Amino acid sequence: MTDILIEGGKALIGREFADASIHIANGTIAETSSRSGTATMHLDSRGLIALPGIVDTHGDAFERQMMPRPGVYFPIDVALVDSDRQAIANGITTVFHAATWSWEPGLRGTENAHRLLDAIESMQPQLAADTRFHLRQETFNLDAEPTIADWLIAGRIDLLAFNDHMDMTAGSMSNPKKRARMVERSGLSEKEFDKLVEQVLARTDKVPSSIARLAAIGCDQNVPLLSHDDASPEQRGEFRGMGINITEFPINEETARAAIEGGDFTVFGAPNVVRGGSHTGWTSAAEMVSKGLCSILASDYYYPAPLLAAFLLAADNVLPLPQAWSLVSGAPAEATGLHDRGQIIAGKRADIVLVDAHEPLRPRVVAAISDGRVMYITEPQRILSNVTAMRRVEPA
């Protein structure tokens, strides 16, 4: 594996920016120092800042590559490669594809859940970002429980989230537009969809025990567990009692505060920060950050958002950039148990992005290094041969 020396610019070392050279060897950060050195490859980072790669705990934008229009499918391998290119180009070096397995057929049905997991496992070596499987289990999808239990025990699931959109589904049945979208997504006739919803709702009383059983297996296998759209401190407390210590998109401030005070991680959408609010009309992510109630920002449905959100929070004086960057790198790495990344420190995995931040609201990824390999670069002239690099640092 090529050893790399990044030099000439600033780097986020720990929680501060410093003029530093970063030496990468065998996929690992070997050293950070103020002095130059030698390596097989030199990257000229003058005018750029080096940041730890983004760890994206929740991104489902890949679904648009699988089905760019309702009912129009493309092969999963094609969709994964396209999504991978988008992720790495936006500084995401670790990506958890958030795949929903629902009781409804179609894009989020049983067949796609199996196909996506198989594709991620087989394609991992050829993808630029470290690509992992985040299973979003619709809790009313009771028939999936045995398979999910097997996957957990086999180590095939990297994150397991418990989603419950049944109230939303039931409430949308009387709205013609929303109902039509759900029916179209499922591929069923209206009559078939109505009957399916009725059958699923009839098993409501079996849902809590299913969640508890899967959560227990997940804890036994050390798989990080997440709840979704928590509505109250009481509900958060119930999930915490089952070992579910990450809450995604709590829908109000009191629930987010209860989570933080209970030692949990809270996840909000980076697009919420970039757009200035939630597209659902719920909690403002930037406000939660300012109040110390947001632990992690995720791409959700838009891969460029984490990069943009961190710099926007800094530009708006909500948080200094080192702390804002932790929301998209260090904190998600910690929450998901990936203690080998999220910081530029000797011994950590070499996941590093070089960013041109001359326009603070429009940061641009110039290069992305994943596991010690340059996976993306827009200015190839910054790659210098060893001879050229050594001549540049020789005294006059």
Write out the DSSP string of 138-203. ETT-GGGHHHHHHHHHTT--SEEEEE--HHHHHHHTT-HHHHHHHHHHHT--HHHHHHHHHHHHTT
Handedness of CA 361, 365, 371, 372 (dihedral sign): negative
Residues 315 and 354 in one domain: no
What is the C-alpha to C-alpha distance for residues 109 and 113, in angstroms, rounded to an integer? 6
**What local confidence, expressed as pLDDT, does residue 70 receive?**
75
**162 vs 140: CA distance, rounded Å:** 10
DSSP state of 53: P
According to the model, what pLDDT value does residue 386 have?
A: 58
Q: Which residue has the tokens 């579910």?
A: 244
Assess contact for 344 and 357: CB atoms under 8 A.
Answer: no
Judgement on whether residues 135 and 269 belong to the same structural domain of the protein: yes
Residues 261 and 349 in one domain: no
In terms of domains, do 359 and 329 share one? no
Task: Say yes or no: 186 and 239 in one domain.
Answer: yes
Identify the pLDDT of residue 34. Answer: 74
- Give the chain's domain count: 2
* pTM (two decimals): 0.91
Burial class (CB in 10 A: 0-12, 13-18, 19+), 126: exposed
Q: Could you tell me the CATH number of the domain that includes residue 32? A: 2.30.40.10
Q: Look at residues 318, 335, 352 and tell me which one is the last residue of a structural domain.
A: 335
Q: Are residues 330 and 365 in the same domain?
A: no
| DSSP-assigned states of every residue in 276-320 | TS-TTS---HHHHHHTT---EEE-BT-TTHHHHHHHHHHHTTSS-
Task: Give the pLDDT score at 107.
Answer: 80
State the pLDDT at residue 391: 43
Q: Rounded distance, CA 334 to CA 327, Å?
A: 10
Predicted local confidence at residue 387, as pLDDT:
44
In 3D space, the residue among 37, 45, 36, 128 whose CA is nearest the CA of residue 379 turns out to be 45
59 shares a domain with 43: no
Note whether 382 and 236 are same-domain residues.
Answer: no
Sheet holding 4-7, edge to edge: 28-33, 21-25, 4-7, 41-44, 383-384
Per-residue pLDDT reduced to its tens digit, 160-205: 999 998 877 777 777 888 888 888 777 788 888 888 888 989 999 9
Residue 98: its H or E element:
strand 92-101
The answer to whether residues 212 and 256 belong to one domain is yes
Give me the pLDDT at residue 378, please: 97
pLDDT at 66 (0 to 100):
86
Residue 12 is predicted with a pLDDT of 97
Domain that holds residue 291: 54-335
Q: Residue 208 is part of a domain; what is its CATH number? A: 3.20.20.140
The amino acid at residue 104 is E
> What is the distance, to the nearest Å, from the Cα of residue 334 to the centroid of all Cα atoms in its chain?
13
Same domain, 192 and 108: yes
Burial of 199 (0-12, 13-18, 19+ CB in 10 A): exposed
Burial of 273 (0-12, 13-18, 19+ CB in 10 A): buried
Residues near 167 by beta carbon (within 8 Å), at least 6 away in sequence: none
- Specify whether 24 is located in the same domain as 44: yes
Nearest to 55 by CA among 344, 369, 298, 376: 298
348 with 293, same domain: the answer is: no
Half-sphere CA count of 310, side-chain side, radius 13 A: 32
Of the candidates 290, 314, 335, which is a domain's last residue? Answer: 335
CB 287 within 8 A of CB 256: no
Which of 293, 313, 335 is the C-terminal boundary of a domain? 335
Mean pLDDT score across all residues of the chain = 92
Are β-strands 54-59 and 92-101 bridged in parallel, bridged antiparallel, or unpaired? parallel
**Run means of pLDDT, 10 residues per run, the chain, 396 residues:** 91 93 96 80 96 96 86 89 96 96 88 94 96 97 97 98 84 79 81 88 94 98 97 97 97 97 98 83 88 97 97 97 98 98 97 97 98 97 68 41
Residue 215, helix vs strand vs coil:
helix
Spatial contact of 32 and 22, defined as CB atoms under 8 Å apart: yes
